[in-house]
Amino acid sequence: MKKVMKRLEDALNNAKASMRVEGFTFSKEDDELIMKALAGELNHDDFVKEALKRAENV
């Protein structure tokens, strides 16, 4: 399980690096939301709802 989480964290960090080049930033809460989705703790619909709610508050 630790290997899987490490691979998910690596994937997230790579994606964040690409997004930072484009000027986007991520909060700790964003990271937590994304990791929950990647780990299967949050389904796609719930992820999108939460992401959209956060985007409206920016």
pTM for the model: 0.77
C-alpha to C-alpha distance for 58 and 56, rounded to whole angstroms: 6
Give the start-to-end residue ranges of the domains of the chain. Answer: 2-56
Q: For residue 43, what are the CA distances in angstroms to 6, 11, 36, 37?
A: 20, 18, 9, 6
Total Cβ atoms within 10 A of residue 37: 19
C-alpha to C-alpha distance for 24 and 17, rounded to whole angstroms: 9
Residue 19: which pLDDT band, with cuts at 50, 70 and 90?
very high
C-alpha to C-alpha distance for 55 and 7, rounded to whole angstroms: 27
What is the average per-residue pLDDT within 24-49? Answer: 93
